[in-house]
């Protein structure tokens, strides 16, 4: 079959068109598979973690559960740091702060690894892709959890064995039953003692104590009145305590008594009579 030159040119044009459409279709399928926008502007940001945990180039990047980009490159930069280069949508950079963190998460228990970005605090400054680097946040390590789970299971098994041994030595539970019975008897005795105290004259004793306290308060009030009267006067006791002239008169009288034999004799007789009356009583 002979094809004319004009037809050959048309076939070439059709082939190029079909190839172009196929390429566009492949790009669209790849873009939909990664859930990223093909024609929206993107920007590169960097993060540093201690371990990428089998993260691969092309893994997706999430912010608050939304896929905003993919992992572009992964490289070791020091003994304890791995740098992750990510290409994300430029419009989403406004939600990332200087104190935002990243973690390597897993889609399910055994799913693919991906990078999760945590938003950060509202008061922090905006993230600058040219100078800032996201740091990693401590996440739960399922390997450590499984190891600890095994240790807990072993400890629990030992505890259960000990409990089984204790129950075996309790003579099929007889000692335990006796202990519970003794506790019940003690509870009943306490209840009886409480009831006896309630029925006794405890309330009357409390009333008597209250009455005595009231009488004491009244006596204290009367004594305060007497002391106030003595302090403010007038009266003999007030004069004896606060009047210096009475004090001087007593001194003069006693001094004269020492010098005057008659007065001295009178005082001795008065004292003797007082002692005799006291002895008779």
Interval 92-104: pLDDT, tens: 989 999 999 998 8
User: Does residue 147 register a pLDDT over 70?
Assistant: no
Instruction: Using pLDDT thresholds of 50, 70 and 90, give the confidence band for residue 172.
Output: low
User: Does residue 32 register a pLDDT over 70?
Assistant: no
pTM of the model: 0.41
User: Does residue 211 register a pLDDT over 70?
Assistant: yes
Distance CA 25, CA 10 (A): 22
Mean pLDDT of 175-190: 75
Q: Which among 60-64, 107-111, 151-155, 210-214 has the top mean pLDDT?
A: 60-64
Predicted confidence at residue 183, as pLDDT, reads: 81
Instruction: Choose between 166 and 59: higher pLDDT.
Output: 59
Instruction: Choose between 128 and 275: higher pLDDT.
Output: 128
Percent of the chain past pLDDT 70, that is, above it, reads 63
- Pairing relationship of beta strands 113-118 and 60-63 according to DSSP bridges: parallel
User: Does residue 141 register a pLDDT over 80?
Assistant: no
Predicted confidence at residue 225, as pLDDT, reads: 75
Burial tier of 146 (Cβ tally within 10 Å: 0-12, 13-18, 19+) = exposed
The domain limits of the chain are 1-34, 40-139, 144-169, 209-275
Instruction: Choose between 146 and 275: higher pLDDT.
Output: 275
Chain-centroid distance of CA 64 in Å reads 28
For residue 24, give every residue at least 6 positions away whose Cβ sits within 8 Å of its Cβ, in sequence order, or none.
none
Q: Which among 82-91, 113-122, 250-259 has the top mean pLDDT?
A: 82-91
In the chain, what is the greatest distance between 2 CA atoms, to the nearest angstrom? Answer: 183
User: Does residue 55 register a pLDDT over 70?
Assistant: yes
Average pLDDT over the chain, rounded to an integer: 75
Instruction: Choose between 152 and 37: higher pLDDT.
Output: 152
Residue pair 42/88 in contact (Cβ under 8 Å)? The answer is yes
Distance CA 29, CA 99 (A): 35
Instruction: Choose between 247 and 13: higher pLDDT.
Output: 13
What ranges make up the beta strands (E) of the chain?
Answer: 42-49, 60-63, 66-78, 81-89, 101-106, 113-118, 134-136
Predicted confidence at residue 72, as pLDDT, reads: 93
Residue pair 61/86 in contact (Cβ under 8 Å)? The answer is yes
Distance CA 24, CA 39 (A): 12
Q: Which of 42-56, 101-115, 259-273 is predicted least confidently?
A: 259-273
């Amino acid at each position: 079959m002979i094809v004319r030159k004009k037809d050959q040119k048309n076939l070439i044009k059709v082939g190029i068109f079909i190839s172009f459409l196929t390429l566009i279709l492949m790009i669209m399928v790849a873009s939909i598979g990664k859930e990223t926008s093909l024609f929206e502007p993107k920007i590169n940001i960097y993060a540093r973690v201690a371990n990428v945990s089998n993260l691969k180039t092309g893994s997706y990047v999430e912010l608050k559960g939304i896929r905003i980009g993919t992992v572009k490159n992964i490289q070791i930069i020091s003994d304890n740091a791995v740098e992750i280069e990510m290409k994300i949508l430029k419009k989403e950079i406004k939600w990332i702060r200087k104190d935002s963190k990243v973690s390597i998460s897993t889609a399910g228990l055994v799913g693919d690894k991906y990078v999760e970005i945590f938003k950060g605090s509202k008061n922090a400054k905006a993230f600058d892709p040219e100078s800032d680097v996201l740091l990693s946040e401590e996440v739960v390590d399922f390997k450590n959890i499984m190891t600890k789970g095994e240790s807990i299971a072993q400890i629990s098994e030992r505890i259960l064995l000990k409990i089984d041994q204790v129950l075996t030595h309790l003579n099929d539970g007889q000692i335990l039953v006796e202990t519970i019975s003794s506790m019940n008897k003690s509870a009943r005795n306490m209840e009886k003692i409480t009831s006896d105290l309630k029925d006794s004259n405890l309330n009357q004793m409390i009333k008597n104590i209250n009455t005595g306290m009231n009488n004491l308060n009244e006596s204290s009030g009367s004594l305060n009145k007497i002391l106030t009267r003595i302090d403010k006067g007038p009266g003999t006791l007030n004069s004896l305590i606060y009047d210096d002239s009475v004090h001087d008169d007593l001194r003069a009288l006693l001094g004269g008594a020492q010098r005057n034999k008659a007065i001295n004799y009178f005082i001795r007789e008065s004292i003797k009579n007082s002692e005799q009356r006291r002895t008779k009583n």
